[in-house]
Amino acid sequence: MSSQPRGKWAANKSAYQAYLQKNKIESAYQLRPQQLLALFNITGVAPNKQQMKNFLQNCLLKYWGADRENLIGKKTKAAWVDEMVQDAYNCEVEGGEGGGEEEEATYEGPKEGKDGEKEGNEDMQSQMDVDQDDHQFANNTEVSGSAVETGGTLLREEAQVSRLSDQLRQRQFKIDDRERALEDREKALDEYEEHLVTRAVEISTREAEVDQQEILLSNKESGLKSSEQKLRKDKDSFRIDQENWEKCYRAKSGFLDESEERLRKKRNDDAEKLRALEVENKKVNLELREMTALLKEQSGLLADYAKVINEKQDEMEKKDEAIKQKDKEMKEMREAKEAKKAKEAKERNFDIEEASSALTLSPTFIPPNLQFWTSRLRASASVTAEDKSKFQQTCKDLCAKSTLVEELQGVNACWEKGQLVPALRKLKALVGGVWEEVKLVNIIYMT
């Protein structure tokens, strides 16, 4: 009795046979890992350990697994299969014969969903950072807080996307379990078929033995006819032997009939199981179609979400442009105001000759060179490091000292707080009342 390979490995049996003949391989136990990988690649299935193991056990060893003891010794079949599959899979990972690196075969839908979820989370996080910056700017410039509401909406959308992703992963886990169960059932059916093939071979062997016995009996009958006279005295004993053989033959015939009946029942059972598998496959296909529809719906949601993000980004860019324009206008206004103050300060300059002739100054006198700093202190946001350095140098000149350490620290504190009058009083205390000296006036105008 001959047997044909079943399942997904059956379609390429002629290609397997051609490869084995080309490489002069008579038994699957002669295969090397690279050759196993090459045969597995003929199937077109993505390489992974479980699929390669099923292919080796249920196809190659089943139909070309002869001479095991002589080829692998006392090593068990399971140990040899695990070692061969591991070596072949390592060849695949390291770029050996059969292609480049491949991950274990999984359904690509959830993976794309994860990638999309990851990109969506990154975009969402980026948008949340932008919204947070906008919210901070809005607090500083008294802009409307609509960005906070937008951030809350985005967080709710992110939670919804996360829940949908969890549902997709759970559905994928269920489908993977169903696929593994189907593979196990297919393996069990293949083993059962192998058992039936073995039983059929045994029955064929017994039939051959019966045929041989019939031939022997025919030869004996010919001998009896040719030597009937000689064997007449043994006829009774032969008749007894013949009757015994007929009883044995009837018993064996009955056994063969029973075996055929059992075989017929088992074939019917196999047909029922195949029909059940077809029904199960239809259910799995229906679930896969439902999963595909869910994935399409998820993709549409992600596309809408990306569109909303792009619209928000466009709005933020427009707001940034408006803010930059407003900053430019404010800068021009500050420059115009400072120019006006400089002009007014120049008009209020102290007359040097009149000050020299008076030799005395008012206790509330502010040196003209320090009057420049009054307007700057009122707009401390526009003060630069260079301005602070010039102010420190003016303080040094007023104190007639080359360096100031502790004294200047107190003045700096007043500078940072925008308190000009306390700073001038500290300077007056430092120079010991020299405000009324002509030398002080000359120093001020020299600086």
Whether 436 is covered by a domain: the verdict is yes
Q: Which pLDDT score is estimated for 112?
A: 41
- Check whether residue 174 and residue 288 sit in a common domain: yes
Whether 342 is covered by a domain: the verdict is no
Q: Which pLDDT score is estimated for 154?
A: 82
Angle at 167 between CA 166 and CA 173, to 5 degrees: 90
- Check whether residue 314 and residue 371 sit in a common domain: no
Q: Which of 44, 63, 93 is the last residue of a domain?
A: 93
Q: Which of 93, 127, 160 is the last residue of a domain?
A: 93
**Radius of gyration for the chain, computed over Cα atoms and rounded to the nearest angstrom:** 50
- Check whether residue 32 and residue 55 sit in a common domain: yes
Q: What is the pLDDT of residues 43-56, one digit of tens each?
A: 988 888 999 999 99
Q: Which pLDDT score is estimated for 64?
A: 92
Whether 20 is covered by a domain: the verdict is yes
Q: Which pLDDT score is estimated for 416?
A: 59
Task: Report d(CA 87, CA 90) in Å as an integer.
Answer: 5
- Check whether residue 231 and residue 304 sit in a common domain: yes
Q: Which pLDDT score is estimated for 370?
A: 63
Q: Which pLDDT score is estimated for 249?
A: 85
Whether 339 is covered by a domain: the verdict is no
- Check whether residue 221 and residue 149 sit in a common domain: yes
Q: What is the pLDDT of residues 20-37, one digit of tens each?
A: 999 999 999 999 999 999
Q: Which of 69, 93, 117 is the last residue of a domain?
A: 93
Cα 161 to Cα 124, 151, 166, distances in angstroms? 11, 15, 9
Q: Which pLDDT score is estimated for 19?
A: 94
Which mean pLDDT values do the consecutive 10-residue runs of the chain (447 residues) have? 54 90 92 93 89 92 87 87 92 59 35 43 47 47 55 79 81 79 80 77 77 80 76 79 86 85 89 90 88 85 85 87 88 87 68 43 55 60 72 65 56 59 60 45 44
- Check whether residue 115 and residue 155 sit in a common domain: yes
Q: Which pLDDT score is estimated for 403?
A: 53
Query: What DSSP designation does 59 have?
Result: I
- Check whether residue 82 and residue 128 sit in a common domain: no
Whether 400 is covered by a domain: the verdict is yes
In this structure, what token pair is assigned to residue 18? 């051609």
Looking at the structure of the chain, the number of domains it has is 3
Whether 19 is covered by a domain: the verdict is yes
> 30 lies in which domain range?
7-93
- Check whether residue 196 and residue 267 sit in a common domain: yes
Q: Which pLDDT score is estimated for 110?
A: 35
Whether 12 is covered by a domain: the verdict is yes
Task: Report d(CA 261, CA 256) in Å as an integer.
Answer: 9
Dihedral angle, C-alpha 129, 135, 137, 138, nearest 10 °: 160
CA dihedral sign, ordered 430, 433, 439, 443: positive
Q: Which pLDDT score is estimated for 407?
A: 56
Task: Report d(CA 181, CA 200) in Å as an integer.
Answer: 29
Task: Provide the 10 A C-beta neighbour count for residue 34.
Answer: 15
- Check whether residue 374 and residue 308 sit in a common domain: no
- Check whether residue 194 and residue 300 sit in a common domain: yes
- Check whether residue 167 and residue 192 sit in a common domain: yes
- Check whether residue 240 and residue 141 sit in a common domain: yes
Cα 306 to Cα 119, 279, 311, distances in angstroms? 10, 41, 9
